[in-house]
Chain A
Amino acid sequence: MIAAAFEYHRPADLKGALGVLAEYGDDARVLAGGHSLIPMMKLRMAAVGHLVDLQDIADLRGIRVADGRVKIGAMTTQHEMIASADLAGAAPIIAEAAVQIADPQVRYMGTVGGNVANGDPGNDMPGLMQCLDATFTLVGPDGSREVAARDFYHSAYVTAREDGEILTQISFAAPKGGYAYEKQKRKIGDYATAACAVQLTKAGGKVTSAAIAMTNLSDTPVFSDAAGAALVGTSGDAAAVKAAVTAAVAAINPTGDNRGPAEFKRHIAGIIIGRAITRALSRA
């Protein structure tokens, strides 16, 4: 459990970080909170010649809420998001999900940017950001571009981010209505057996919008348009919830692991999605 030797870089600004990435190409990796990358390096499953620590880049931290839009710097920790009064007002689902990540020690170090950029299907923030229809800002040698969270994930650890790019910011419209992040895990510190983010609105007794996304049930997070559509226009009655669950479960492709076989996860996913929708409806 000792990592191989590596060079450690600690640039003071984004330009410096991009410079190191440009110089060393795929032999360099950025380090955010380190709670995915460092264990992989210690297991010698990841070999990194040049580690580019982003923690001195002040511009990458902080939460700003203005004009109905939420902007979160990539180096903002889970703990900072949980403690943010602004975020609690603008998007309470963030804290509800973040507090279910790992344990306090991990949340003090783990960042939202690392969580979404790493492409680990077990991470909670990618599904949540798809639910919120967030946009990721990627900065590279040729400038900056924006990619929708719903388009970002290709397969496990493979994302739209190019080598040489750094994910700097996450932004989304402050959501309205009811929300829930429901997660089943074996114990504190575990990844989800199944988890689901729901954000929906109601007006005049009818569901007017619904976004449903799931965590650790495929090799990427899964956003289900059909599940949301099954709710919209209904009163959110039992039949509608059931239809939404059926649509959501149809979109996942879980694999068996120590948490249980795929068949079990599919069933648990249905239960967790149903509970998330029901709780979100009760808050709408």
Chain B
Amino acid sequence: MNDLTPTPQERTAKLKGLGTSRKRVEDARFTQGKGNYVDDIKMPGMLHGDFVRSPYAHARVKSINADAARALPGVIAVLTAADLAPLNLHWMPTLAGDRQMVLADGKVLFQGQEVAFVVATDRYVCADAIELVEVDYEELPVVTDPFKALEPGAPVLREDLAGQTSGAHGARRHHNHIFLWETGDESATNQAIEAAEVVAEEMIYYHRVHPCPLETCGCVASMDKVNGKLTVFGTFQAPHVVRTVASLLSGIEEHNIRVVSPDIGGGFGNKVGVYPGYVCSIVASIVTGKPVKWIEDRMDNLMATAFARDYWMKGRISATKDGRITGLHCHVTADHGAFDACADPTKFPAGFFHICTGSYDIPVAYVGVDGVYTNKAPGGVAYRCSFRVTEAAYFIERMIEVLAMELGMDAAELRAKNFIRKDQFPYNSALGWEYDSGDYHTAWDKALAAVDYAGLRREQAERVAAFKRGETRKLLGIGLTHFTEIVGAGPVKNCDILGMGMFDSCEIRIHPTGSAIARLGTISQGQGHATTFAQILATEIGLPADSITIEEGDTDTAPYGLGTYGSRSTPVAGAATAMAGRKIRAKAQMIAAWLLEVHDGDLEWDIDRFVVKGAPERFKTMKDIAYAAYHNAIPGIEPGLEAVSYYDPPNMTYPFGAYVCVMEIDVDTGTHEVRQFYALDDCGTRINPMIIEGQVHGGLTEALAIAMGQEIAYDAIGNCKNSTLMDFFLPTAVETPHYTTDHTETPSPHHPIGAKGVGESPNVGGVPAFSNAVHDAFRAFGLRQAHMPHDHWRIWKIANQLGLHG
């Protein structure tokens, strides 16, 4: 050793591995406008497709006359359901076991529904041709309220299901009923609640919102009639699933289909499903033999592609007088729109909503979810959350607040009293989940101390007194949340989508000079996979993250995986990456042993090299080993250094967090100002703290939008009222408050590196934190429940109804 020998610290730093705030390698191209998105793809002879959409929410399509459109110069084809029917492609299966019209088959069921697909030589001709398609509609009665949809005389929406008394998820009890999904012990829960000293009951509505990624959905389908190969570039969060579904639908063998997700400008669940635009583009390309591009505009995206939430959650929660929770009962009326196109694991039509016991040790619970058809767009996707987990977190975190009011107890104290204790993990919940790890009390105490919770409550009491004396017109709300996520779907034994098990994968190839490429079954939409997966690998195999290329999204090259949503990339593909890295290291150890002429058991791993135990001067670096793997003829060892891992997780992971939002509310105008937002996240092992912070900022801002103004609402005849960004709230820097982030670190015991996933936690925890702050501001005046979004009008309405406007 001499002064020039790098220290272990220097060698570790050079790797930029786990725990490093490595700068995002993706950003250079994005910040310079050099990304390659679907709409950047231009192919020779490419045609453009666009939809004639229904202006009505419910109408019979009596006739479609496309003669004038077909006569317009530049128009190649106008496809209707009649054209797709011979191919049996006028309907398509949904991920939820239902089916959906690709193009209107006799009737339309929501405003914006696809009626005809115009294919033309350019997009402008397409837009003109759409105007020329004459559709004769006969309006039918509209139902947009799921409770009214279940009334006996409600209009029949899905005539195609006439006489079907059961669907993919069991019995249907009404023509607009989709399923009743139940879990837990209802009779025991009812007994516990009936016997309880205190019961709180409330209807909690989580309104309909939309993921609204900045890049809308779209694709370019290209059928090469010479080699019989179909290539589809698209905004897909799950490219391999799209390939398999496309193969099953079209009959084209899977090796002849290549699906590519290029750069994706945000997904948030909106880009998981299969949309009519994909099917029509593929058909049009097969028919014309030319590439066909379809790109939604913003109105198409907001009106027709997958929404999120729309859950009416009726809750009953019981406790002892001193605040020990004894039972939780929840019935959900779930508005799925016109087709059940939720993107949930097949066995879970309500997703993982039954994580709704939250962070609390609740001895007995029951959940029943009724899925309902209405004349609204289909969807029900996980908008920056694991499947239906934000709904669950919002439900329990509101019910805790309502119970605290019923008990006359501080809501922070009530939470702490009921948290699952550290020594109870792994914890089996009343609704069947095994929580892997957690330390809720430590996180909670840290959060309350950080914001000086007692001081805030004193200030709030003073404010209420001043308000009552007429000295101020502003109230102070303190919004508390302790959430538990359930992410990383998931174990193949109970998680699949259309029968496809929800494992994920990583394939690593080490190059002779000590750099590498790793390919995964996932696809980044902004999460920074090229940065973080290289960091996982750097720590596992001792090559610098800067020398590792991460590639995803091309089904011809990437190993099969189920894609990126539900915070599953780190828990599942991240685990596959670590496991594949360990296979590389195991082979590297044998090579090092041969090179060093020792038994492989005499070697130990040291950051970036294998060292002979007790002889630190005798070592081989991973770079040395990589070269030897290819170019030394090593007896008994195949040349090369590659590995692949398909990882089937043994369990989900359960990230958690403690958030506090302090909000000023102007009683007269309904406006608000977030004075402070403290977010403590525990996502287990932290791979890249800077990316985690960015994820938390982004997720909290989406949570702000949802809680404070974002919605997809319909009028009585089913017109979508929020189909542009004038009326659909996307916060800018001006509306976005400052966030303070913090963390504790409780590794997952079953994940190879202990990581749990974080991208969605801030949306899951943020929404109840913002909403609880609004409720809390009015708590002194008796407010129990006011539905989101808390826009100016609705906050004003709370104050007005409480008599605060004099």
Contact = CB atoms under 8 A, between A and B. Distances in A.
A190 B792 contact: no
B131 A186 contact: no
A5 interface: yes
Interface string A78-102: 0000000000000000000000000
Contacts of A2: 123-124, 126-127
A180 to B, nearest CB: 16
A184 interface: yes
A187 B127 contact: no
Interface in B767-806: 791-793, 796-797, 800, 805
A103 B123 CA distance: 29
Contact of B298 (A1, A186, A261): A1
A267 B796 contact: yes
B244 interface: no
Contact of A189 (B124, B726, B791): B726
Contacts of A272: 669
B21 interface: no
Contacts of B124: 2, 5
Interface string A166-207: 000000000000000000101111110100000000000000
A68 interface: no
Contacts of A8: none
Nearest to A184: B669
A188 B128 CA distance: 32
Contact of A4 (B131, B669, B735, B797): B131
B131 A44 contact: yes
A44 B53 CA distance: 14
Interface in A214-270: 258-261, 264, 267-268
Nearest to B299: A1
B333 interface: no
Interface string B79-103: 0000000000000000000000000
Contacts of A190: 726
A40 interface: no
A148 B242 CA distance: 63
Interface string B121-139: 0011011100100000000
A3 to B, nearest CB: 8
B26 interface: no
Nearest to A258: B727
Nearest to B473: A271
Task: Label chain A's interface by main secondary structure.
Answer: loop
Contacts of A1: 297-299
Contact of A268 (B297, B727, B796): B796
Contacts of B126: 2
Contacts of A259: 792-793
Contacts of A271: 668-669
A264 B797 contact: yes
Given A5-B128, A193-B792, A261-B793, A187 B671 contact: no
Nearest to A271: B668
A265 to B, nearest CB: 9
A67 B110 CA distance: 62
A267 B800 CA distance: 10
Contacts of A191: 726
B422 interface: no
B68 to A, nearest CB: 15
B732 interface: yes
Nearest to A260: B793
B732 A188 contact: yes
A282 to B, nearest CB: 18
A267 to B, nearest CB: 7
A267 B805 contact: yes
B491 interface: no
B709 interface: yes
A103 B726 CA distance: 12
Contacts of B727: 258
A183 B59 CA distance: 42
Contacts of B128: 4-5
Given A1-B298, A103-B732, A186-B729, A260 B792 contact: yes
A264 B297 CA distance: 33
Contact of A258 (B668, B671, B721, B796): B721
Nearest to B731: A187
A186 B791 contact: yes
A189 B730 CA distance: 11
Interface in B657-699: 668-671
Interface string B708-740: 010001000000011001110101101100000
A2 B791 CA distance: 31
A267 B805 CA distance: 9
B722 A258 contact: yes
A107 to B, nearest CB: 14
Interface string A1-33: 110110000000000000000000000000000
Contacts of A186: 709, 729, 791-792
B792 A184 contact: yes
Contacts of B734: 187-188
Looking at B131, B791, B793, B797, the one whose CB has the most chain A CB atoms below 10 A away is: B793
Nearest to B793: A260
Contacts of A184: 669, 671, 792
Given A193-B792, A259-B793, A187 B805 contact: no
Given A258-B722, A267-B668, 15 more contacts: A1-B297, A2-B124, A2-B126, A4-B128, A4-B131, A5-B124, A184-B669, A186-B791, A187-B734, A189-B726, A258-B721, A259-B793, A260-B793, A264-B670, A272-B669
23 contacts: A1-B298, A2-B123, A2-B124, A2-B126, A4-B131, A44-B131, A184-B669, A184-B671, A184-B792, A186-B729, A186-B791, A187-B731, A188-B734, A188-B735, A189-B726, A189-B732, A258-B713, A260-B792, A260-B793, A264-B793, A264-B797, A267-B796, A268-B792
